[in-house]
Amino acid sequence: MRVPWRTRPPSAGGPIRAPATLRGVIRVPSDKSISHRALIANALAEGESTVSVRAPGGDVLTTVGALVRFGVPIDAHGMVDNEIHFPVSGGGTGDAIATFRRREVELSCRNSGTTMRLFTGVSATQPARVTLRGDPSLELRPMERVASPLRRMGAAVTTENGLPPLVVEGRRPLRALHHDLPVASAQVLGAICFAALAADGETTVTTPGPTRDHTERLLGWMGAEIARDGRVTTIRGPSGLRARSLVVPGDPSSAAAWLVAAALHPDADVRVLGVSLNPTRLALVDVLREMGATIEIEPRDGGGPEPVGDLRVRTAGQLQAIELRGGRVAALIDELPLVAIAMAGADGVSELRDAAELRVKESDRIASVVCNLSAVGAEVHELPDGWRVRRGRPRDANVTTDGDHRIAMAFAIAALAGVATSVVIDDPGCVEISYRTFWRDLETLSGREHPSLPGGLGS
């Protein structure tokens, strides 16, 4: 696989501060969740397609690399305005999912939990022995939640005391069963759906809370018999897929950074173009509006399975405190570090509960958010499953990210929006996992270059 650029992460030398105004129009990277699924599904499909991804980060490129390891003919071709086009030749026959070319495969999933969990589901359908490994952070993340249902379907899946590496030996047909998931996880749901394409009969999955429905939308668009009714997903197999080209829309979790920054900044007007408007991904918009933000949504025709449109957020005065718990939390899981920044800039005491899942992300995000909020001057108390926070006296801070891209971006936004007077990020390059143009977009909206951001960054 050839990638037609080299990125240059920012040096960790200087502070990030709030600009006098925050204005501009940007396009964020393509949605990671959709990109992973579109690449994998087209590799399993009959025919050829092109999946176009804007500014793919490290996680998406990890999935591309995993497909190449499986023998899928996929390559990176010409980049236009940071958009890269991946031609994918599927091997499907129209009545069953593809059989990949290799029988003994070891996959490096690096830091991508989505890659590992989705490929565990795909591997359960393959006549191969597949070993899935990760970096030290990923190899601390729980995997029995995906291994257990696939075992019940008939695949041989082993873990190391519930953790990676995983070893999967697939079979066909798999057993069609009902699954009650203990955790509301779109990754686990997606893995089961991919496996169910090779199952004989109707597979159903019930989740305890809301999850993203990208898998259902995409597989249905590509010809699978799949439907969601509330928290129950039903898929009938065996089922082939038809290859379909698509341009993956912008990532709402990346757009979230600028929504929070503009909602808090005293002089802001920011537009983000071409973002996925999937209803399961707009929980942050609802939260910010509830806190008092002014956010406009303009739908557009995206030509694919996902609704697409533009987002605009403008200064609307002081945000108000909020309490978040229960089912609302799962829909915000990736955006919760940014929600913490909004809470720290709001009037009153805000509280997050029922977010223990943050403990097993790329870092312990509860501990990391609390530590760094305290460092920037917020009044914050750590809870077992969340935090309690109110606005404090902003100050300069050195931010410890533990290599977590969500923490790095959240606390850059804290400085940009005035929740901190300035921050220095210890590992600014870690944002490349999901948002390789983050620092360039920060420069665009702030109207100047920061000392920590070398000229030409993102070129």
Task: Count CB-CB contacts under 10 A for residue 232.
Answer: 12
Report cis status (omega within 30 of 0) of the bond before 165. yes
Three-class secondary structure of residue 211 per DSSP? coil
Residues 440-443: contacts with CB under 8 Å, at least 24 apart: 441/26, 441/28, 441/258, 442/16, 442/412, 442/416
Residue 368 amino acid letter: S
Helix boundaries (H) for 244-349: 252-264, 283-291, 327-330, 336-344
Give the total residue count for the chain: 459
> Residue 104, exposed/middle/buried by CB under 10 A (0-12, 13-18, 19+)?
exposed
Task: Please report which helix (H) or strand (E) contains residue 222, including its range.
Answer: none
Task: Count CB-CB contacts under 10 A for residue 22.
Answer: 26
Residue 168 amino acid letter: V
**Euclidean distance between the first and the last CA atom of the chain, given in angstroms as a whole number:** 21
Structure token pair of residue 281 = 């991904």
Active-site hit among 310, 334, 404, 441:
334
| 334 included as an active-site residue | yes
Q: Which residue has the tokens 């920060």?
A: 442
Give percent helix, percent strand, percent coil of the chain, each to the nearest 5: 35, 25, 40
Q: Positive or negative, the Cα torsion across 432, 360, 134, 74?
A: negative
Question: Active-site residue numbers?
Answer: 334
